[in-house]
Amino acid sequence: MKMTGKFITFEGPEGSGKSTHIKLLKAFLEERGIEVVLTREPGGTPLGEEIRKILQHDHTEPPVPSAEVLLFLASRAQHVERLIRPSLEQGKWVLCDRFADSTFAYQGYGRGFDMASLRAVNAFAVSGLRPDLTVLLDVTPETSRARLAVRQASTATTPDRIEREAAAFHERVRNGFLALAAEEPERLVVISTERDPAEVAAAVRQAVERLPLKLPLNPLPGCSGSRQ
Ligand code: TMP
């Protein structure tokens, strides 16, 4: 079946502001009459959410690195087939908090898995699905650590298994995301979140307005279609 909706993914290191900005974009699109599905990885389906718990929480037996890759990909396969592709076929726009670029950044650049193998196993899971646009929200490791500390203090939570990785791991992940964006600049738009959140939101909207659209998007006042 032909897909008519748009698939937009949000990526970035921990504390990059994805959840805030994905919600702002959802509201912006809905104001323009677009039906939006907001989802996330790992997760997005009942099975995916169970896999998320396994991946994030402490168990007597943490997954070995290759099992970790396959768990993320199992969640993705279920998500693509059960939620993302059907929603796109119904003309909905799917906004997804993390997708394949997280696997390449975290398991590839972070854990050191061979990129060709990761691309092959990801291709198996997504069967040809590719985001129309990926918003890469960039943040320095220092800001990322500071934001995580504030979030954990305000929500009284402790860092999960991946958040607890060493600073060097998170630095490799951030550099990995930037390398992925340099390889595919037409799909991945890098937006620094080290500035006023309103400016970040405007930059996200501008990236979306550049997509070839079926529905006209009327820019909000103060958000012209001009490129930065
Ligand atoms: P978050 O959605 O709250 O950011 O948490 C997801 C965590 O899982 C985050 O630490 C990044 C990590 N992750 C991977 O390592 N590989 C993946 O493929 C995905 C989707 C997420």
CATH of domain 7-209: 3.40.50.300
Q: Whose CA is nearest to atom 7 of ligand 1?
A: 162
Which residues sit with their C-beta closer than 6 Å to ligand 1? 14, 40-42, 72, 97-98, 102-103, 106-107, 162
Q: Which atom of ligand 1 is nearest to the CA of 42?
A: 20
pLDDT on residue 1: 63
- Parse the chain into domains and list their residue ranges: 7-209
- Measured from the Cα of 160, ligand 1's closest atom is 10
Q: What is the predicted pLDDT for the residue at 222?
A: 41
Pull the structure tokens for residue 183: 């390889």
- Residue 16, pLDDT score: 94
Residue type at position 159: P
pLDDT at res. 62: 86
Q: Which residues of the chain have pLDDT under 70?
A: 1-3, 213-228
Helices (DSSP H) in 96-186: which residue ranges? Answer: 100-102, 115-126, 141-155, 167-183
Q: Which of 45, 84, 98, 163 to mutate to test the pocket of ligand 1 (most atoms within 8 A of CB)?
A: 98
pTM above 0.75, yes or no: yes
Measured by CA distance, the residue closest to atom 15 of ligand 1 is 106
Q: Which long-range contacts (CB under 8 A, 24 or more apart) does 48-51 make?
A: 48/75, 48/76, 48/78, 48/79, 51/75
Q: What is the pLDDT of residue 122?
A: 98
